[in-house]
A and B are shown apart, each in its own frame.
Chain A
Amino acid sequence: MQIVQLISLWLIPSIIAFVLLYGTYKRVPTYEAFVEGGKEGIQIAFSLIPYLVGMLVSIAIFRTSGALDYFIQFVKPLVDPFGLPSEVIPLAIIRPISGTASLGIVTDLIATYGPDSFIGRLASTIQGSTETTLYVLTVYFGAVGIRKMGDALKVGLLADAISFILSFFIVLLIFGR
């Protein structure tokens, strides 16, 4: 399992070195291209602010009022036998529906339990390893005018469920509790 942690450590430096070498070899004005692309990053971060403010406030109300705890207590007996922390169940439910809402929940979990806790690592992995199925379906099918989606939704949601369970086992295997 050392290999997975080695990937984590070496992936970014290797990509940086490779992209810079390849860019120089292909005579791309590397520095100017970097600056050009970076501007896009500022835009994305700023446009994220209203989404995140809206979601985090709503989640905070739900959590501090005690409603979230009530919900977690409710699902606890269902997931406890499998060793799943019931705190991540809301994330699993929201993840396929809304990307910003789940990003809000991940932030909330990391803030509450710490980024290096089991829940923090699990939430990070779940958020990163799947896309927002409902959003992708709506945008892609909507853009080209497909009305009958066939099995697409079922396939997407089943894959999300599997990805969630896989994330749990992999985080457990690599980091332990």
Chain B
Amino acid sequence: MVNVIWVMMALVGIVFAALNGTIREVNEAVFQSAKEAVTISIGMISVLVFWLGLMKIAEMSGLLSALARLCKPFVRRLFPEVPANHPALGYILSNMIANMFGLGNAATPLGIKAMEELKKLNGDRDTASRSMVTFLAINTSSITLIPATVISIRMTYHSASPGEIIGTTFVASLFSTIAAIMIDRWFYIRRRKKGG
């Protein structure tokens, strides 16, 4: 999918440039944007080093798992098919907390562990269970506290206040997670009515 989009943008652009007479601009843009990409990646180092460093302290002090325990009663209600104290819940919670703090790399292995446990609960079938769909709905809309990459891009382009979008991002992601949970419920009820 990504391959198709990537190739299409470049090829359509080049054909367009030929028809539009903008090939000179395209030539210039190729090297200019490559340079810009490197500048942005380098600019990200400062924010990423600081944030991931801080989050290492949070992880080692047990703060992240304490947060996960705190959210447990709430999350249990979202997964009625998962028995209380089942390890799946622990993995789901740690994954959600890691996502919240922008720790994508830490979140993925936890999410995969959660899926493994959910699959066991579903009798090892290769069909997605209700809990799996709910988990992915929450995961793909995940609540974001600190969008570190976006902040660093805004810094690179001299925003007067790079962090000003933290609030809007948090509120948007909170509401979209609630929406995702509701859509998930709605689809579940629809499946049940169809007898599936």
Q: Give chain A residues whose Cβ lies under 8 Å from the Cβ of B179.
A: 159, 162-163, 166
Q: Give chain A residues whose Cβ lies under 8 Å from the Cβ of B168.
A: 4, 8, 121, 125, 167, 170-171, 174-175
Which residues of A (44-63) have their CB < 8 Å from a CB of B?
44-46, 48-49, 52-63
B59-90 interface code vs A (CB 8 A; 1 in, 0 out): 11111000000000000000000000000000
Question: Could you tell me if B141 and A159 are in contact, using CB atoms closer than 8 angstroms?
Answer: yes
Question: Which of A40, A52, A134, A163 has a CB less than 8 Å from the CB of B40?
Answer: A52
What count of chain A residues pass the 8 Å CB interface test? 108
Nearest-CB distance from A22 to chain B (Å)? Answer: 5
Question: Which of B37, B58, B141, B171 has a CB less than 8 Å from the CB of A170?
Answer: B171
Question: A9-B163, A151-B133 known; A61 and B147 CB under 8 Å?
Answer: no
Q: Give chain B residues whose Cβ lies under 8 Å from the Cβ of A78.
A: none
Question: A15-B146, A26-B61, A111-B157 known; A147 and B180 CB under 8 Å?
Answer: no
- Bound Cα distance A146, B167 (Å): 36
Nearest-CB distance from A112 to chain B (Å)? Answer: 10
Question: Could you tell me if B34 and A156 are in contact, using CB atoms closer than 8 angstroms?
Answer: no
Nearest-CB distance from A67 to chain B (Å)? Answer: 4
- Bound Cα distance A63, B126 (Å): 42
Nearest-CB distance from A130 to chain B (Å)? Answer: 6
A85 at the interface (CB under 8 A from B): no
Question: Could you tell me if A121 and B164 are in contact, using CB atoms closer than 8 angstroms?
Answer: yes
Nearest-CB distance from B111 to chain A (Å)? Answer: 6
Question: A101-B5, A111-B157, A128-B150 known; A7 and B49 CB under 8 Å?
Answer: no
Interface residues of B (CB under 8 A from A): 1-2, 5-7, 9-10, 12-14, 16-17, 20, 22-23, 25-26, 28-30, 32-34, 36-38, 40-42, 44-45, 47-63, 99, 105, 108, 111-112, 115-116, 119, 126-128, 132-133, 136-137, 139-142, 144-147, 149-150, 153-154, 157-173, 175-177, 179-180, 183-184, 187-188, 191
Interface residues of A (CB under 8 A from B): 3-9, 11-12, 15-16, 19-20, 22-23, 25-26, 28, 30, 33-42, 44-46, 48-49, 52-67, 70, 94, 96-98, 100-101, 103-104, 106-107, 110-111, 114-116, 120-121, 124-134, 136-137, 139-141, 143-152, 154-156, 158-160, 162-163, 166-167, 170-171, 174-175
